[in-house]
Amino acid sequence: MILISTQFSILYPMASITVGIKFHPPPCFPRLRPPPHSHGILPRSSSVAAKSTSCQLHESSGDIIYCLASEKTQSSKDFAVPRRKAMALILSGFIYSQAGTCDNAFANSVTFREYTDQFDGYTLQYPSNWIQVRGAGADIFFRDPFVLDENISVNISSPSSSQYKSVEDLGSPEEAGKKVLKQYLTEFMSTRLGVRRESSILSTSSKVASDGRLYYEVEVNIKSYANNNELAVLPEDRVARLEWDRRYLSVLGVENNRLYELRLQTPEKSFAEEEKELREIMDAFRVNKVAA
């Protein structure tokens, strides 16, 4: 047994006293010093037996060996996993579990929160587990924290550059749908080589909501394709692949001489499962009169 002695001074106002302390190393966990190039892993076939009731620190030929401390003799095979592999397994398991539960933004929650902007004059509902994103370019923007393709936003025309009296100022629902699609394609315009977009208007309709106002509803689909090697010389080396396929739903309303547009975005593959909740969000959108 090695007894470690140390000295320190306690200073008093009138004298200096030196105190000597003998220190016993604290108990340690059972572990043997690994052989060279083992990276801290004991051979799977190795076994360890211990009989001592206290941890002892031995010194032999310059090597320090940490002995086992156990109240009774035990023999077991060591099973060790490298730390990096263990962390990788834990992380991959967490990601897999999240991916399994968050593929659908509405899979675990169908409750909604209401958001009212009294200054600009509109009310909407959004899933309670979604978060608000600031600086997204819209008047308000909410998105799913896991599925980034799922979001809701509201765009409002400038009061100084537009004097809308009714949503019918856009023309018929079909004409409004063409304008909505054109606006989407303008916003998604890309300067990358080999990028192309395919779009189509799926439906357009009008309705009078419970507040007595007329609203237009527009649904469009947009697909984005990009070449896997846009700098290739030969056409056969530039293979177009699908980047994303999305459904966009818009609700248009007019109040305060301004045009309001509620936008919903979702992956096309998820639309069938989420359609009921998306329709509820569309039906709940209202434009409100702002006090002058």
Is a pLDDT exceeding 70 seen at residue 163?
Answer: yes
**Close Cβ partners of 280 (under 8 Å, ≥ 6 residues apart):** 112, 125
Written as one letter, the residue type at 146 is: F
pLDDT tens digit sequence for 66-123:
343 444 444 444 445 566 665 666 665 554 455 444 455 555 557 999 999 999 999 9
For domain 111-287, the CATH class is: alpha beta
pLDDT tens digit sequence for 186-235:
999 988 888 999 999 999 999 999 999 999 999 999 999 998 776 666 76
pTM above 0.75, yes or no: no
Is 219:248 a contact under the CB 8 Å cutoff?
A: yes
Count of beta carbons in the 10 Å neighbourhood of residue 124: 24
Q: How confident is the model at residue 238 (pLDDT cuts 50, 70, 90)?
A: confident
Pick left, alpha or beta for residue 241 (phi over 0 → left; psi -120 to 50 → alpha; otherwise beta).
Answer: beta
Residue-averaged pLDDT of the chain: 76
The dihedral through the CA atoms of 170, 173, 178, 182 has a sign that is: positive
User: Which two structure tokens, joined as six digits, stand for 83?
Assistant: 């730390």
**Close Cβ partners of 289 (under 8 Å, ≥ 6 residues apart):** 121, 255, 256
pLDDT value at residue 60: 42
| Extents of the domains making up the chain | 4-80, 111-287
Min mean pLDDT across 64-68, 89-93, 158-162, 169-173 is at 64-68
